[in-house]
Amino acid sequence: MIKTTCALTFLCCLASLPAGATPSLPASASVPLGVTQVDAAFGNAASDADFLFRLGMLEGHLLVGHELMQAHQDALAVPHFGHPVRELYDDISNYLKSRNFPAFDGQLAALEAAVAAAPQAPDTEAKYQSALATVRKARDIAPAELRASLPEMIRVCSNTIDAASGEFGESLERGRVAVLVEYHDSRGFLDYVAWQLAQLKTAHPTPAAQASLDQLTQVLAKAQWIVGDLMPAPTPRASVGTYRAIASEATSIANQITAAK
């Protein structure tokens, strides 16, 4: 199954869908649902901002994979360590090579093997922390002026929320959460956005910047609520339309900040 992630804002534009009423919280989580590996590569990173976007998705996989390991959902964690090395890494490999950043696909592959063989071992945790540090170091090869630009980085964050809404849509079949790997992709992408916003809040202390970041943080919280259960009930907390409307709010914030530059 090839995933058609229409939320990829760098390549296409999503039509804004109306928000639905917020559903009530499911009473309890169900047993784990079936996992289908349906991730597909997005193509090579074409720009500095595109590189940061794709690197953020790679990091999101690692973050949610680690969450699943900590919850002892080891079988569900494994795909999130396989997809970065077999799919997303290819998208950024040329960018890394052109800037002489040491290849780390071998490090990601070693982490995947460790998660599959001994997910709770201290050495596996050490490999995870090392891989995460490498990914965050790789972010530094993007131009400093881009990474220091609040409008540009908020755009990366809003695009990632948009991508997360597409992953959530791919997780549903007939209105039910049926493909957990995609549900967890969505959650992981939002985990990355939360980390990035925290970094931006530290780097941009002016009242105007803090106000913009607070506004986006509030939008992010609404998306995070939708995928708030690590092991979700079959009935989703919200519709795809509601999630996409939230992503549209994030895009509007990014547009407003860009226009105010």
For 107-120, how does the pLDDT look when each residue is reduced to its tens digit (9 = 90+)?
999 999 999 999 99
Predicted confidence at residue 260, as pLDDT, reads 84
DSSP assignment string, 25-55? PPSS--SPPP------------SHHHHHHHH
Domain 148-261 has CATH 3.40.50: no
Residue 7: pLDDT above 50?
no
For residue 127, give the nearest of 111, 104, 142 by alpha carbon: 111
> 3-state SS of 101-121?
CCCCHHHHHHHHHHHHHCCCC
Q: Which residues contact 134 (CB under 8 A, 6 or more apart)?
A: 104, 107
Give me 162's structure tokens. Answer: 């948009």
Residue 17: pLDDT above 50?
no
Determine the Cα–Cα distance for residues 8 and 91; give it in Å rounded to an integer. Answer: 14
Determine the Cα–Cα distance for residues 224 and 213; give it in Å rounded to an integer. Answer: 16
Q: Measure the CA dihedral 34/36/42/45, to 10°.
A: 70
What percent of the chain is modeled with pLDDT above 90? 79
Determine the Cα–Cα distance for residues 246 and 164; give it in Å rounded to an integer. Answer: 11
Determine the Cα–Cα distance for residues 199 and 160; give it in Å rounded to an integer. Answer: 16
Question: What is the residue extent of each domain of the chain?
Answer: 47-142, 148-261
Residue 72: pLDDT above 50?
yes
Residue with tokens 């916003």: 197
Predicted confidence at residue 46, as pLDDT, reads 75
Give me 148's structure tokens. Answer: 């220091």
pLDDT tens per residue, range 172-217: 999 999 999 999 999 999 999 999 999 999 999 999 999 999 999 9
What percent of the chain is modeled with pLDDT above 70? 83
Predicted confidence at residue 67, as pLDDT, reads 98
Predicted confidence at residue 85, as pLDDT, reads 87
How many degrees, rounded to 5, is the angle at CA 239 between CA 237 and CA 240?
125
pLDDT tens per residue, range 208-251: 999 999 999 999 999 999 999 999 999 999 999 999 999 999 99
Q: Taking the complete model, does pTM exceed 0.75, yes or no?
A: yes
Residue 47: pLDDT above 50?
yes
Predicted confidence at residue 43, as pLDDT, reads 53
Residue 71: pLDDT above 90?
yes
